[in-house]
A and B are shown apart, each in its own frame.
Chain A
Amino acid sequence: EIVLTQSPGTLSLSPGERATLSCRASQSITSRYLAWYQQRPGQAPRLLMYGVFNRATGIPDRFSGSGSGTDFTLTISRLEPEDFAVYYCQQYDKSPRSFGQGTKVEIK
């Protein structure tokens, strides 16, 4: 099973700042099958990115994804109030698909 490790566990930032979230895989994700989800408090997860750098429908362009192999990054260029949430990466390259443990982006 591919283990995904996200860092940092918590990111304390102010609105307007840039957020950089990391997701490291225990083995190479060869087909760029890496997705990111956002979960706001009390809500279901929402798909943000798939295939590393493709934004899902309706996701604003302040969200971007990058990376390859074992190291992936989600960047939020300028934090809006609604972006303070927990973010999970997911690999769907190998079965069983797996999620990282999450990074919480909180208001500083």
Chain B
Amino acid sequence: EVQLLESGGGLVQPGGSLRLSCAASGFTFSSYAMSWVRQAPGKGLEWVSSIGDSGSPTYYADSVRGRFTLSRDNSKNTLYLQMNSLSAEDTAIYYCAKRGTVPVEEYWGQGTLVTVSS
């Protein structure tokens, strides 16, 4: 069974940083691309970033490019999202998602809440 467990969310001040983690199990992590998708409170879904199975290539939404960095450690079956220069607009639930052989977000974790506020 595919399991994705996000962690690292919390309350951070504007301008601050946070690193999210996603621990994966139940599949061969190193064989699949991964994504982060976020959802602001009461809003829809926004794709944030994706990474290839070996760690490249990486892709970012314009809204986070230059501030967020996506990486993975295939030896630890873990995905990371380093978020810098956070603003209130980054407040959201951040979902980790596994891509399939078809490049869609096939499985999702339960999400971790990031709140940017002073």
Q: Find out whether the CB atom of B102 lies under 8 angstroms from the CB atom of A101.
A: no
Can you list, as one digit per residue, whether each of A30-50 has a CB less than 8 Å from chain B (1) or not (0)? 000101010100011111001
- Tell me the bound Cα distance from A39 to B110 in angstroms: 11
- Tell me the bound Cα distance from A16 to B98 in angstroms: 33
Chain B residues numbered 92-116 whose CB sits less than 8 Å from any CB in chain A:
95, 100, 102-111
| B70–chain A nearest beta-carbon distance, Å | 14
Number of interface residues of A (CB under 8 A): 24
Set of chain B residues within 8 Å of A50, measured between Cβ atoms:
100, 102, 104
Chain A residues numbered 43-72 whose CB sits less than 8 Å from any CB in chain B:
43-47, 50-51, 54, 56
| Interface bracket on B | 20 to 34
Q: Find out whether the CB atom of B62 lies under 8 angstroms from the CB atom of A35.
A: no
Set of chain A residues within 8 Å of B95, measured between Cβ atoms:
44-45
Chain B residues numbered 59-112 whose CB sits less than 8 Å from any CB in chain A:
59, 61-62, 95, 100, 102-111
Is B47 among interface residues, defined by CB-CB distance under 8 A? yes
Q: Find out whether the CB atom of A46 lies under 8 angstroms from the CB atom of B44.
A: no
Which of B62, B104, B107, B109 is in CB contact (< 8 Å) with A90? Answer: B104
- Tell me the bound Cα distance from A43 to B109 in angstroms: 9
Can you list, as one digit per residue, whether each of A5-41 has a CB less than 8 Å from chain B (1) or not (0)? 0000000000000000000000000000101010100
- Tell me the bound Cα distance from A44 to B35 in angstroms: 14
Is A97 among interface residues, defined by CB-CB distance under 8 A? yes
- 8 nearest CB pairs, A to B: A44-B108, A99-B45, A35-B104, A50-B104, A101-B44, A102-B44, A97-B47, A50-B102
5 residue pairs bridging A and B, Cβ less than 8 Å apart: A37-B105, A44-B109, A88-B44, A97-B47, A101-B44
